[in-house]
Amino acid sequence: MTIACKNDQKKGETAEVVTNEKKPNIVVIYLDDLGYGDVGAYGATELKTPHMDALAAGGIRFTNGYASSATCTPSRFALLTGIYPWRNKNARILPGTAPLLIDTAQYTLPKMLKEHGYHTGIVGKWHLGLGTGHVNWNEAIKPGPNEVGFDESYILAATQDRVPTVYIENDKVDGLDPNDPIKVDYHKNFEGEPTGKDNPEMLTMKWHHGHNNSIVNGIPRIGFMKGGETAKWSDIDMADHFLAKAQEYVRSHKNEPFFLYYALQQPHVPRTPHPRFVGSSGMGPRGDVIVEADWCIGEFIKTLEEEGILENTLIVFSSDNGPVLNDGYYDDAVEKLGDHDPNGPLRGGKYSMYEAGTRVPFITYWKGKITPGVSDAVVCQMDLLSSLAALNGDDQEYGDSRNLLGALLGNADKGRDELMLEASSKTALRKGDWILIPPYKGVFKYDHVNIEIGSMPTFQLYNLKEDPGQQKNLAEENPEKLREMIADYTRIRGK
C-alpha cells in the first residue's frame, strides 16, 4: 500500500517507485431499514437478492454485525463519528429542520480518510441535520456534510417521508427556481396548502399513522412544505438518480483513492419502486424496492468493474437499523409478506432493543484480497473509523470505535468483547454470547408498527448462542451472570 518516491542515483533523473499495492478505494453501501433476514445470503428464500448475495459469497458475511442503533440518525452518527450515539442526547430521529448533529470540530471517518489522501463523497440519505437551526433552503445550507469531512455531497436531507422533498448538492437545493422559494415548517401548515389529513382525495398512497402533512407526488409526508416545485424529487426515480450520482462519483475520482458513502433510501417508507420493479418481488412495494436496491448495487459494482478498480476497492455493505413492515403507510407490506421473514431468526425489529433492531446484514468485500468466508465476530459499524484508520497505518483507536481490521478483512476471528446497543434512547449490553436489557419504563410493544421494543419492569438476560430468538429470560436462573452483566453495563454507561 505504500507509494514510495526514490531519487535515482543517476544524475538529474528521478524515478518513481510505486509498489503494486495501491491504497484501496473504500465504499460503504448503506441501506435504510433492511433487516437481517431480508437478504438471500442471510437466509431469505422468498426474496431474491443476487447482487447482495454475490458480495457475501465473495467476501466475509458477518453473523454478528451491528448497527449502533435501532433507528437511523443515531446509527449514522456513530458510523461517521465512532462515538456511541447515547452519549449525545440529540442523536435521535431528526426532523428535516434539525441543525447539524455532528460538531464540525469532531473527528470523523471522512476526515480521517481525507488526512490519508482520499477524496471523500456521500450520495444518498443524510439524516444528520443541516445548518444551525434556522435553515433558509434558498441560500447556502451550512454546515452540512461538506463541513464534517465530505469533499462532495449529494443528499436527501432527512428521510424520504420527511420534507423538504428535494435533493441537496453540496450546500444548494438542486434545481431550485429562485422565483419559487422553498419554505419548510414542522409545526404549522402554510395557508391554503393541502394536507394528507384534510385532502385524502389527492393521495395515491394512504397514511396509516403520522405522515399526514404536506402532499408531494400524491404521497403525504411528515412536515409542511411550500414552493420549490421544480426542485421536488420524483420518488419513483430516486433509486436511479442516486445510482447515477454514485456512478458519476466513481468515474470522476477513479484515478485517486476515494471514499464513497452510498446511502440508499430503500426499503424505508414511502416505498416507491420504479415501474420496472413493480411486482418484481410478489411482496408488494417493500419487496419490490429491495429488489430495486439489489439491482442498483449490481449496477454500481459493474461500474467499478468497468472502470477497472473493483480489485482495488474495499466494499462494506450494511443497513442502518432493522426491519419494519408498516411504518406509517398502507403499502401491503404486511398483507403481501407471505412466508418471508425480514427478521430472520431474530426478535424485535426497527426501534427495538431486541436483536432484530440492531443486528443487520454486514458484509465486507475486496476482490482478490479478502478470502471469502463467514465470521461470527461481533463487529459494529462504529468500528469502521478506527479499523479503516488502521488500514492506513494509524493504529490509534478513536472514541468508542475499536480497531477490528483483522476481523473485517477476514484475518482474525475475534471482534468486540462488548457492545452497548441503543434503541429509542434505551440501551442493552452485548458481551460474549450474552445480552442484558435493563428494566425500562414505557410500553413493551409499539402497537402502530407491531414491534416489541422490549421495555420490561425487570432485567432481561439472554444467551444468544443458545437462544437467538431471545425467548428464554435467564435473569432469575443465572443471578451470577446477571450480576456480572449489570456491573459491565454500569461501568460503560456510568450509572
What φ, ψ does residue 454 adopt, rounded to 5°? 105, 0
User: Which lies closer to ligand NG6 via its Cβ, residue 31 or residue 377?
Assistant: 31
Q: Are 153 and 287 in contact (CB under 8 A)?
A: no
Question: Looking at 175-183, 203-211, 277-285, 417-425, which segment touches ligand NG6 (CB under 6 A)?
Answer: 203-211
3-state secondary structure of 78: helix
CB of residue 35 to ligand NG6, shortest distance in Å: 12
Question: Which residues are at the interface with Ca ion (CB under 5 A)?
Answer: 32-33, 72, 320-321
Q: Give min distance, CB of 199 to ligand NG6, in A.
A: 19
- Min dist CB 266 to Ca ion, Å, is 10
Please give the Cα distance from 436 to 461 (Å, whole number).
5
CB 378 within 8 A of CB 414: no
Which of 64, 68, 159, 265 binds ligand NG6 (CB under 6 A)? It is 159
126 vs 137 by CB, closer to ligand NG6: 126
CB-based contact 122:79 (threshold 8 Å):
no
Nearer to ligand NG6, 60 or 451 (CB): 451
3 state DSSP class of 418: strand
What does 461 interact with, of ligand NG6, Ca ion, none (CB < 5 to 8 A by kind)?
Answer: none
Nearer to Ca ion, 32 or 235 (CB): 32
What's the angle, vertex CA 388, arms to CA 382 and CA 394, rounded to 5? 115
User: Between residues 118 and 446, which has the closer beta carbon with respect to ligand NG6?
Assistant: 446
Q: Residue 264 CB, nearest distance to Ca ion (Å)?
A: 11
Given CA atoms 186, 190, 196, 197 in this order, what sign does their dihedral have?
A: positive
Say what the alpha-carbon torsion angle 157, 263, 113, 416 is, to the nearest 10 degrees: 120
**Residue from 269, 314, 435, 461 binding ligand NG6 (CB under 6 A):** 269
Q: CA-CA distance, 167 to 200, in Å (whole number)?
A: 26
Instruction: Pick the binder of ligand NG6 from 50, 95, 181, 210 (CB under 6 A).
Output: 210
| Of 127, 232, 286, 430, the one binding ligand NG6 by CB under 6 A | 127
92 binds ligand NG6 (CB under 6 A): no
Binder of residue 272, out of Ca ion, ligand NG6, none (CB less than 5 to 8 A by kind): none
Residue nearer to ligand NG6 on the CB measure, 74 or 121: 74
β-bridge partners, 65: 379
- Residue nearest to ligand NG6 as judged by C-beta position: 210
* Residue (of 275, 285, 280) closest to 326 by Cα position: 285
Place of cell 448475495: 53
Would you state the cell numbers that stand for residue 374, as one nine-digit string?
463467514
Which residues make up the interface to ligand NG6 (CB under 6 A)? Answer: 32-33, 71-72, 93, 127, 159, 161, 209-211, 222, 268-269, 321, 327-328
